[in-house]
């Protein structure tokens, strides 16, 4: 048995965790840049709590609330300029995966005089500013991963960067901040978390330690399934979803994702489909594709999530998120070619060629 396990994020979990550990916000400097989207930080109540603590501690702050969904290099460049101009000494990211990923990029750009495209070299002359991550969705696990995923128009896809220095320093996971999510965001992001755990569990880079985390993340998705289907989501269920999301993030920090994410980026890039939903379209077909290579593990995923078959999984996911848009033969070829440029094709347990991706997408059309 040989593996490396590296999880350097100081993680506080539970209702009131920020207020109960507020001194953490004073440890990283005298001026913060708060990075968020247009509404999530305010609606979730997290921004008010953070600002209240910073005011009390007399720590200065500036707010950058322009992070777009699926942020771009230009978007994070703007945040980097503000960080530098304002003399920020640390970054507080509040929001779903988009603001949290943007925070990591902005933390690098704040201290390194580089163009955003150079982020993808994963090598930075100066150590990024410390990031404090506060999720308001329960899906990406970005608060415990080093990854920042940016939309690249030049490559017509989404590409991630990440290095040991881009892990957040601290994460505060309070399920109350996820209550204000619209139901669709709750469901899509829960599917993303499920996808992280199962892709990690089936991927080539899995380890005995990530298997434990992944199996629990998968089991919790099963426990929460009925609530997700009914739309009646209590705070106790939200707590489980947030915990499952964190576990999924810890898994992919080690294993990376596989072709569910690699193919899914096309649906987001070309059709604006939210990230978790795009993954959800592909999960059942991805497991069918890999079945002969990981039969025991796929049966285990079904048993853990309380489902009898891949057909049932397919139906449950379709009920939650719907079916993918109909792709033309040309689109299928384009999606497959772009997916083959993704690193995630290398982590799939079964070798993947462009014709395999085309086959997966063809089969989705027939469902
Ligand atoms: P998101 O793009 O961050 O947010 C989706 C929408 O939900 C936004 O409109 C957002 O509002 C809103 N929202 C978020 N929390 C809310 C709340 N509590 N109340 C009301 N509205 C709320 O969605 P996401 O699925 O969490 O993140 C997706 C991004 O993360 C993608 O770019 C994906 O590639 C990336 N990702 C990263 C990792 C990683 O390891 N780093 C893993 C998987 C995915 P605002 O407009 O105010 O933000
Ligand atoms: Fe994801």
Instruction: Give 191-220 pLDDT, tens digit per residue.
Output: 999 999 999 999 999 999 999 999 999 999
pLDDT (0 to 100) of residue 57: 97
Task: Give the per-residue pLDDT at 365.
Answer: 78
Cα angle: 144, vertex 145, 148; to 5 degrees: 130
User: Is residue 81 pLDDT above 70, yes or no?
Assistant: yes
Average pLDDT estimate for 84-101: 98
- Counting beta carbons within 10 angstroms of the beta carbon of residue 238, is it exposed (0 to 12), middle (13 to 18) or buried (19 or more)? buried
pLDDT over 90 at 147, yes or no: yes
pLDDT band at 161 (very low <50, low <70, confident <90, very high): very high
CA of 232 relative to ligand 1 center, distance in Å: 21
**64, 67, 95: which to mutate for ligand 1, most atoms within 8 A of CB?**
95
The DSSP H or E segment spanning 91 is strand 90-95
Contacts of 251 (CB under 8 A, 6+ apart): 141, 196, 197, 200, 201, 210, 213, 214, 217
Ligand 1 contacts CB of residue 253 (under 6 A): no
- The enclosing H or E element of 12 equals strand 10-13
What is the spatial distance between Cα 290 and Cα 260, in angstroms, rounded to a whole number?
11
Task: Kindly tell me if the per-residue pLDDT of 234 is higher than 90.
Answer: yes
pLDDT at residue 128, as a whole number: 98
> Is the per-residue pLDDT at 280 higher than 80?
yes
**C-beta of 278 in contact with ligand 1 (< 6 A):** no
User: For the CA atoms of the chain, what is the radius of gyration?
Assistant: 20
Q: How far apart are CA 246 and CA 242, in angstroms?
A: 6
- Using one digit for the tens of pLDDT, what is the confidence trace for 282-333? 999 999 999 999 999 999 999 999 999 999 999 999 999 999 999 999 999 9
Question: 334 C-alpha vs ligand 2 centroid, how far in Å?
Answer: 21
With 80 as the cut, is the pLDDT of residue 367 above it?
no
Ligand 1 near 40 CB (within 6 A): yes
Q: Are 287 and 270 in contact (CB under 8 A)?
A: no
Gap from CA of 199 to ligand 2 centroid (Å): 10
Residue 228: its H or E element: helix 208-230
Whether ligand 1 lies within 6 angstroms of the CB of 93 is answered as no
Question: How far apart, in whole angstroms, are the C-alpha atoms of residue 94 and residue 108?
Answer: 17
Mean pLDDT across the stretch 174-185?
98
Q: State percent of the chain over pLDDT 70.
A: 99
Kindly state if the Cβ of 97 falls inside 6 Å of ligand 1: yes
The arithmetic mean of pLDDT across residues 31-39, rounded, is: 97
Q: Give the β-pairing of 90-95 and 131-135.
A: parallel
Q: Note the pLDDT tens digit of each residue in 249-262.
A: 999 999 999 999 99
């Amino acid at each position: 048995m040989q593996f490396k396990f590296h999880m350097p994020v100081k993680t506080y979990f539970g209702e009131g965790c920020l207020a109960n550990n507020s001194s953490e916000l004073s440890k990283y400097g005298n001026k913060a840049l708060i990075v968020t989207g247009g509404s999530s930080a305010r609606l979730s109540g997290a921004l008010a709590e953070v600002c209240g603590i910073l005011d009390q501690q007399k720590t200065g702050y500036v707010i950058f609330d322009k992070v777009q969904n699926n942020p771009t290099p230009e978007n994070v460049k703007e945040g980097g300029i503000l960080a530098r101009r304002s003399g920020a000494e640390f970054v507080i990211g509040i929001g779903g995966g988009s603001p949290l990923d943007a925070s990591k990029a902005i933390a690098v750009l704040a201290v390194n005089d580089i163009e955003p495209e150079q982020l993808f070299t994963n090598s930075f002359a100066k150590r990024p500013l410390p990031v404090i991550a506060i999720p308001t969705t329960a899906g990406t696990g970005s608060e415990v991963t080093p990854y920042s995923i940016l939309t690249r128009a030049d490559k017509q896809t989404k590409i991630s960067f990440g290095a040991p220095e881009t892990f957040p320093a601290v994460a505060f996971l309070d399920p109350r901040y996820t209550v204000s999510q619209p139901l669709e965001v709750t469901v899509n992001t829960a599917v993303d978390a499920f996808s992280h755990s199962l892709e990690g569990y089936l991927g080539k880079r899995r380890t005995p330690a990530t298997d434990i985390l992944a199996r629990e993340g998968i089991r919790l998705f099963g426990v929460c399934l009925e609530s997700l289907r009914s739309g009646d989501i209590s705070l106790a269920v939200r707590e489980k979803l947030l915990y499952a999301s964190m576990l999924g993030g810890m898994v992919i920090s080690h294993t990376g994702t596989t072709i569910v994410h690699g193919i899914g980026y096309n649906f987001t890039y070309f059709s604006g489909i939210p990230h978790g939903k795009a993954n959800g379209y592909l999960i059942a077909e991805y497991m069918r594709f890999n079945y002969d290579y990981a039969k025991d593990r796929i049966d285990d995923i079904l048993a853990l999530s309380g489902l009898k078959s891949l057909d049932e999984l397919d139906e449950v996911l379709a009920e939650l998120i719907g079916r993918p848009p109909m792709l033309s033969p040309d689109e299928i070829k384009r999606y497959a070619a772009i997916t083959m440029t993704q690193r995630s094709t290398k982590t799939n347990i079964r070798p993947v060629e462009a014709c395999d991706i085309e086959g997966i997408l063809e089969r989705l059309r027939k469902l």
